[in-house]
Each structure stands twice: as structure tokens, then as C-alpha cells.
Amino acid sequence: MHETPARDLGGQPVGEIVAGSSSPSFHRLARRITLRIVALYLVLGFTYIALSDRVVIALVDDPRVLTWVQTFKGWGYVAVTGVLLYGLIFWQTRRIAAANEALAERDRHITRLNRVYAMLSAINGAILRGHDQDALLDEVAHIAVDKGGFPLAWVGLVDADQRTLRPVASAGAGLDCLDGLVLHVDPDHPEAHAMAADLARGHPFVINDLAETSPVDKCHARAVAHGYRALAVVPILKASRLLGVIGLFTREAPDRGGPVFDDDELRLLTEIAADTGLGMTLIAQATALDWASRFDVLTGLANRDLLKERIDQALLRARHQRRYVGVLAMEVAGLRAVVDSLGRQQGDRLLQAVAQRLAGQVREGDTVAALGNGEFAVLLADVREGLDVADVAHKLLKPFELELQADAPPHFVTLAAGAAVYPNDADTADGLIHCAGIALHQGGAQAPTGDCVFYAPEMDQRVREYQALDNELLGALERGEMQLHYQPVVRLETGEIIGVEALLRWHNRRFGAVSPDRFIPMAEHSGVIRPLGDWVLEQACARLARWQERGWRLRMSVNLSTRQLLAPGFAERIRETIMRHRLDPERMVLALEVTETAVIEDMEAVSEALARVKELGIVVHLDDFGTGYASLSYLQRLPVDTIKIDKSFVQTLDTDPVAENLVRSVIALARSLNMGVVAEGVETAEQRDALKALGCHVAQGYLFARPQPAEDVERLLEASNP
């Protein structure tokens, strides 16, 4: 807002004269004004005398009358010139007074702006120093009072729903004005506050005369009682989104109808609010970065760095108090199957549910951390005895059910755990985490449900061997170290070879022959199982095609990893492989085997994937049946053609009545469901005869033939079909 300065008779701004009354220029200007008034007076006087004399002489001939007229003319001259001088001096004095008043108002305006500038500078300094939002907003309120000269200031924040505003910081006199203040700032709300529309547009809300305005809320009425005359509420915005407000009260009254908060002041206050919003954003970003550096984003648990920090603190106390510290490393069984079948989102839901469950079961002072890749760690601080760790682990490892899909059965969640204890196993945070992880990966995953495996020194050697073997596995295919062996499947009554099972064998350059029991779990864990599985299927189909050309129509079964089965596009890749090797879908001789344990981990997803495979004409075998503790009723829900009885039951047929009863039940169930049965691991004639007596007609095992290269199997086939 700009004002036009008052000017004197010579066009000089009067304000400049008043402001510079002690300077030489003031004296020069004063003399000039005085000389102009005198000159005007003289001109008017001489003109009056000259004209009046001529008029009198022209009209009056009598000398006596002329004398009286001249006397009256002189008195008139004095009267007229006195009135003229009075008018000139009064007019110039009023101009000077008006200029002085305008100058005083401008001084007051500049003083207010200077206070607001000081307030802006101080708040910017607070933003640079600030690391906590509450502290920043509290300092903003106090700066408005101390630097800005406002008797009452407050800062309010909008709730997460963007509908209500509440004060969070305040300073000054009459703080009871803000008691219980809750304002609806959503313009569409039926009880929307008078300021809601202005704030929604990003404009300040101003009341320049509280006493003359109808109260807009309880705070308004209280403010008037405290002597406050005007109010300004300035929005704090972030990308046009309302974060909060800065509210300012003043006791200054409107002057000559003008606003208390003029445009210049509101512009500065808006800049202060914008800077405050920027400070809030910077603090929020810094807080988020600090949080992300110490906590896991997905689960909200402590991350590895924070876990190590808290373990170090627990170790300091334990050394002083002669106590134990336990660390558990835990992983979620079947997580990969969930991700492969249901997607990463459901896998994340599973991890979040496990995190919430673990965090709710530990003591205050203990820490649950997320280590990534589906693994967790639990710090048990201030443990009286090392055995107490086992008790806590047993409680944490209890399985639970989680509903991942609305139209599917609940997922049965199980955890595996390994443990390390200070001072027995390690005396540093890294050492305890390392030892607990070794215990988990060496035995935790294979331990019975609810059991925790404790670290033992000999595990380190196994870990080193495991890591070396795992590294070798990564390049095994490229080096040509993998080979398929085939174990014949025979008809028990005749001994005729009716099929084979393709089995992967690895002969490593450093370690020699490596058992599948060792490298298959490695491949599952590292993800190498998928390219390995694709290679096995390619080789098996190629072998089937060559055997068909020679007239041998043997059914070949290939073991399938759940991770491979549930991978996107698996059925399409199988179809392309079959077509590439010209295997007839109408007379398909390829069979795929999945283990009972894999099926149980995710019944619905595996069933759907197997159904897509069966559409290609491929036969499905359920391998290792009896080891997964699955309900027999599951069989009718699975797209399975043949059940393979696990060798652990076959090899105890002649010594264990339970095994005999189980085999009998499986054979009867398979017959009722129109499924085939194959017995694995037959090594003796007694086992063969027992199976025949129970009604099993197909088997495989060392009694008939060991797994062997394709050339040896071909010689067997040539011998049996001369």
C-alpha cells in the first residue's frame, strides 16, 4: 500500500520538511514558503490599494466624503488582509498537520513490518536448527510474541482426516482463549468454521475489528473479553494441501476505517507460514530418513543396525550383572511358495502378520528385528539362565493360521529358529547374530515344529562347506557337471520295466559326487532350482523323444520343485518343450512328481498349477506320500493320478505293523479314487512279496535297479526286448 505525500505551496512534500526540521534544507524551504506568503500578501495589498483608489476618485467628488471613504478603505484593507493571512496560515498549518499524521502512520506501519521481518528472520533460524516438529511450532508461537509483538499467537495442525483443526502450540497472554478449540475446516462440513473457505483457497482469514463482528467461535468471544481487537489466521500449506495455521491476535484497533492487518503485513505473514510449512516438511523428511535407517519399512520392526545397537547395550548390562543374552534367528517356512503362487503382496502380508505376532509375544525391553528375505531376529536381554531362551523360543514358534485369500483355506504359518547365547557362543552383536543364523540354517528348518536349534561350534565347518558347495552349484550347469540318471519302474508280477524316474546327479570338480539331499535344498534356497528344473525337463523330453523313435514307450517321471511349478508361465514353458520334442499329448509319456510336503505348504496354489499341467495331458504323481502328515481326504481335492509310497514305510513293512497298515490304507484309498500306486525303495524280496500281497503292483528300488545313466538303461531295455 503506497501513500501520496502532502505538498506545500511550492509543491515540496511537507513530510520531508517536517522530517528534516533540523537540517539546512529545512531552513531554506521555510524561508521560501514565508517569502511566498509575504509576496502573495504584497501583491494582493498593492492591487487592492491601486484599484480601490481609482474607484474612489472616480465615484467621490466631495473631499470630506473622500476622507471618510479613504479611512473606511484602510480599515477594510486591514480586515481583508488579516482574514487573508489567517486563511493562508491556517491552510498551510493543516497541510503540515496532515503530513505529520500520515508520516506517523507510515512510521507505525514500518515498525510493524520491521517486527514481522524480525519474526521471519528468527523463524527461519529456528527452521535451520529444528529437528523436532513440536519444538519448531512452539518456537514459532513464542517468536511471534517476542519478535513480532503480537500479544497472543498460536499454531494449529489439521488432523489426518483433513477435517478438523486443533491448536498444538501457543504463547502470550490470554491462553485460555484457545481452551478446547476444535475447528471444522472442511468447507463441505455442515459445521464448517467461517475461516474454512478462505483456508481451503490458501488465503488468510482476517477479522480487523473483533468487537464489531459477530463471534465466529468461543475463542472469538474470549479474545474480546481479553481486550484483543483484531485477528489474522494464515494457512500453512504444502503443495496446496492445508497442514495447519498460524493465528495472531493484536490489541491495535482499526485506524480511520483502514485495516489493522494490511496487504503488506499479510504478505509477510503468508511468507512466514510458507517457511514454517517448509520447515515442517524438512523435519518430516529427516525423521522419515532417520526412521528408515533404523527400522524395516515393511514390518515396522527394528532393522539389523538397530538390533546390533541394542544387543551391544544388552551385552554391557549382562557383563556387569552376570546375566545371559539370547539371540534367536527365525524364518518363515513356505514364504517362497506363497510369493510364487499368490504374489509379493500376499508374501508381504504374511511377513507383516508374523512381525506383529512376534512383537506382541516378547517382553518389554526385548527386541524383534526384521533382517530381510523373510528372516527375523529376536533379542532376549537380561536372561537369568541360558535354558530360558529355549522356553521363549518354544512360545514364539507356535504355528498359527492366517487367511491370505478370502476364497481359500487359511494358510498354516510355521517358523523355524536357531539360537545363540552370550557368553557361551559369542560376546559381540555380530557374533551372536552370526551364530544364531548358522544354527537356523544348519538345523532350524529341519527341526520339528516348535523346536529351536542351538548353535554348536562344529556348525561353522558345515557352513563353510555349504558356502563353498553353494558357490560351485551356481556354475555347475555351464561346466557340464549335471547329469540325469534313470531308475527303472517295474511291474511286480513280471519284472517288466514300464517306466523310469529321472533323477538329477551332480559330480563336482572339487567335491566329487554330491548327494541330491545336499544340493537340492541349496538350489531351492538360492533360486538355482528353476534353471536346473528347466534343464532337467529339457533333457528328459529329449530322451523320451529318442526312446520313442526306437519304439520304447516308457513313462518317465520328473521331480518338480514347488518354486518351479508356481513360477509364472510354467505351464506354457512345458507346452513349448513338449511341442519342440514332438511328444504326442494324446499318448503322453511324461509325468511330473511333486512331494506331499510341498503340496501341504500351499494346497490351493499347487492344485491350480497342477490342473494347468494336466490340461497338457501330463500325468501327475504325488511323491513321498505319508511323510507330510497330510489328511488322506486331501487326495480327492488334488489333480493327482498316482501315489508314490515313501520308502521309509516300504522298508519297514516286515517289522512295523503301523507301516503295513498305512501301506494297506493307501493302496485301498488309491483304488477307491481310481489312482495308481507306486512303492519306492524296494530293496529285498520280502518287501516285494509283502507289497504284492497288499495289492501293490508297481514299484522301484535297488532290488530291481539302481539309478543309472541313460546308456545303461537302454541296455536293460534292449535285453528285455531283444
- Dist. CA 92–CA 111, nearest whole Å: 28
DSSP annotation of 13: B
* pLDDT reported for residue 452: 87
Task: Check whether 19 has a pLDDT greater than 50.
Answer: no
Reduced to 3 states (helix: H, G, I; strand: E, B; else coil), residue 364 is strand
Of 271, 291, 311, the residue at which a domain comes to its end is 291
Q: Name the residue with higher pLDDT: 166 or 12.
A: 166
* C-beta atoms surrounding 398 within 10 Å: 13
How do residues 469-493 score in pLDDT, each as one tens digit? 888 998 899 999 999 999 999 999 9
pLDDT category of residue 369 using cuts at 50, 70 and 90: very high
For residue 295, list its beta bridge partners.
302
How do residues 519-549 score in pLDDT, each as one tens digit? 988 888 788 899 999 999 999 999 999 999 9
- Dist. CA 306–CA 328, nearest whole Å: 15
Task: Check whether 5 has a pLDDT greater than 70.
Answer: no
Closest CA to 622 of 590, 598, 605: 598
* C-beta atoms surrounding 691 within 10 Å: 23
Q: Residue 446: how many CA atoms within 13 Å on its side-chain side?
A: 7
**What is the arithmetic mean of pLDDT over 445-454?**
71
* pLDDT reported for residue 311: 94
Query: 676 with 705, same domain?
Result: yes
How do residues 603-620 score in pLDDT, each as one tens digit? 778 888 999 999 999 999
Which triple of cell numbers denotes residue 140? 514459532
Q: Poorest-confidence range of 385-389, 545-549, 594-598, 600-604?
A: 600-604
Within a domain: residue 8?
A: no
Query: 139 with 118, same domain?
Result: no
Q: What is the domain count for the chain? A: 4
CB neighbour class for 13 (10 Å; exposed up to 12, middle 13-18, buried from 19): middle
Query: 615 with 550, same domain?
Result: yes
pLDDT category of residue 288 using cuts at 50, 70 and 90: confident
Give me the percent of the chain exceeding a pLDDT of 70: 87
* pLDDT reported for residue 546: 94
Q: Name the residue with higher pLDDT: 74 or 333.
A: 333
Q: Name the residue with higher pLDDT: 92 or 173.
A: 173
Parent domain of 358 = 300-457
How do residues 337-346 score in pLDDT, each as one tens digit? 777 667 788 8
Task: Check whether 454 has a pLDDT greater than 60.
Answer: yes
How do residues 165-199 score in pLDDT, each as one tens digit? 999 999 999 899 898 888 998 888 888 999 999 99
For residue 505, list its beta bridge partners.
483
Helix %, strand %, coil % of the chain (to 5): 50, 20, 30
What order do you get walking across the sheet with 452-454 strand by strand? 367-372, 375-383, 324-332, 415-422, 452-454
Of 244, 259, 291, the residue at which a domain comes to its end is 291
* pLDDT reported for residue 105: 64
Query: 505 with 593, same domain?
Result: yes
CATH number of the domain bearing residue 634: 3.20.20.450
Reduced to 3 states (helix: H, G, I; strand: E, B; else coil), residue 167 is strand
CB 318 within 8 A of CB 422: yes
Residues 6+ apart with CB under 8 A from 446: none
Q: One-letter amino acid identity for 238?
A: K
* pLDDT reported for residue 4: 38
Task: Check whether 156 has a pLDDT greater than 70.
Answer: yes
- Dist. CA 341–CA 564, nearest whole Å: 10
* pLDDT reported for residue 484: 96
- Can you state the angle between helices 63-129 and 24-59, rounded to 10 degrees? 160
Within a domain: residue 80?
A: yes
Task: Check whether 3 has a pLDDT greater than 60.
Answer: no
**What is the arithmetic mean of pLDDT over 47-75?**
72
CB 397 within 8 A of CB 450: yes
DSSP annotation of 386: T
CATH number of the domain bearing residue 332: 3.30.70.270
Average model confidence (pLDDT) for the chain? 84
Query: 112 with 162, same domain?
Result: no
* pLDDT reported for residue 14: 42
**What is the arithmetic mean of pLDDT over 427-445?**
86
Within a domain: residue 2?
A: no
- Dist. CA 247–CA 150, nearest whole Å: 10
CB 616 within 8 A of CB 574: yes
Query: 504 with 640, same domain?
Result: yes
Task: Check whether 659 has a pLDDT greater than 70.
Answer: yes
pLDDT category of residue 77 using cuts at 50, 70 and 90: confident
- E strand residue ranges, 610-694: 619-625, 642-645, 676-679
Closest CA to 354 of 432, 300, 295, 294: 300
Task: Check whether 12 has a pLDDT greater than 60.
Answer: no
- CA-to-CA separations, 150 to 155, 173, 236, 505, 720, in angstroms, rounded: 13, 10, 18, 84, 106
The dihedral formed by the CA atoms of 402, 405, 406 and 410, expressed in degrees to the nearest 10: -30
CB 505 within 8 A of CB 484: yes
- Dist. CA 399–CA 95, nearest whole Å: 93
CB neighbour class for 149 (10 Å; exposed up to 12, middle 13-18, buried from 19): middle
CB 639 within 8 A of CB 668: no
Task: Check whether 631 has a pLDDT greater than 60.
Answer: no
Query: 170 with 30, same domain?
Result: no
Helix (H), strand (E) counts: the chain: 23, 22
Query: 483 with 620, same domain?
Result: yes
Residues 6+ apart with CB under 8 A from 257: none
Mean pLDDT comparison of 213-217, 706-710, 718-722, highest-scoring range: 706-710
* pLDDT reported for residue 246: 93
Only one residue has cell 547329469, namely 483
The DSSP-derived string for 538-606 is HHHHHHHHHHHHTT---EEEEE--HHHHTSTTHHHHHHHHHHHTT--GGG--EEEEEEHHHHHHTHHHH
- Dist. CA 664–CA 693, nearest whole Å: 10
Query: 315 with 238, same domain?
Result: no
* C-beta atoms surrounding 163 within 10 Å: 15
Within a domain: residue 1?
A: no
Task: Check whether 249 has a pLDDT greater than 80.
Answer: yes
* pLDDT reported for residue 563: 84
For residue 401, list its beta bridge partners.
412
Of 101, 125, 149, the residue at which a domain comes to its end is 125
Which triple of cell numbers denotes residue 500? 523310469
Query: 88 with 121, same domain?
Result: yes
Q: What is the 3-state secondary structure (H, E, C) of 605-629?
A: HHHHHHHHHHCCCCEEEEEEECCCC
- Dist. CA 498–CA 620, nearest whole Å: 16
The DSSP-derived string for 474-538 is HTTTTTT-EEEEEEEEEETTT--EEEEEEEEEEEETTTEEE-HHHHHHHHHHHTTHHHHHHHHHH
Closest CA to 383 of 352, 419, 347, 346: 419
Query: 75 with 221, same domain?
Result: no
How do residues 664-685 score in pLDDT, each as one tens digit? 988 998 888 899 999 999 999 9
Q: One-letter amino acid identity for 326?
A: G
How do residues 299-324 score in pLDDT, each as one tens digit? 999 999 999 999 999 999 999 888 89
pLDDT category of residue 7 using cuts at 50, 70 and 90: very low
Residues 6+ apart with CB under 8 A from 551: none
pLDDT category of residue 101 using cuts at 50, 70 and 90: low
* pLDDT reported for residue 404: 76
* pTM metric for this prediction: 0.51
CATH number of the domain bearing residue 184: 3.30.450.40
Within a domain: residue 4?
A: no
Within a domain: residue 713?
A: yes
Query: 505 with 601, same domain?
Result: yes
* pLDDT reported for residue 38: 74
Task: Check whether 657 has a pLDDT greater than 80.
Answer: yes
Q: Going by DSSP bridges, is the β-strand pair 205-207/230-238 parallel, antiparallel, or unpaired?
A: antiparallel
Task: Check whether 628 has a pLDDT greater than 60.
Answer: no
* C-beta atoms surrounding 173 within 10 Å: 14
CB 165 within 8 A of CB 185: yes
- Dist. CA 180–CA 411, nearest whole Å: 48
**What is the arithmetic mean of pLDDT over 347-357?**
90
pLDDT category of residue 2 using cuts at 50, 70 and 90: very low
Closest CA to 483 of 543, 399, 421, 402: 543
- Dist. CA 324–CA 381, nearest whole Å: 7
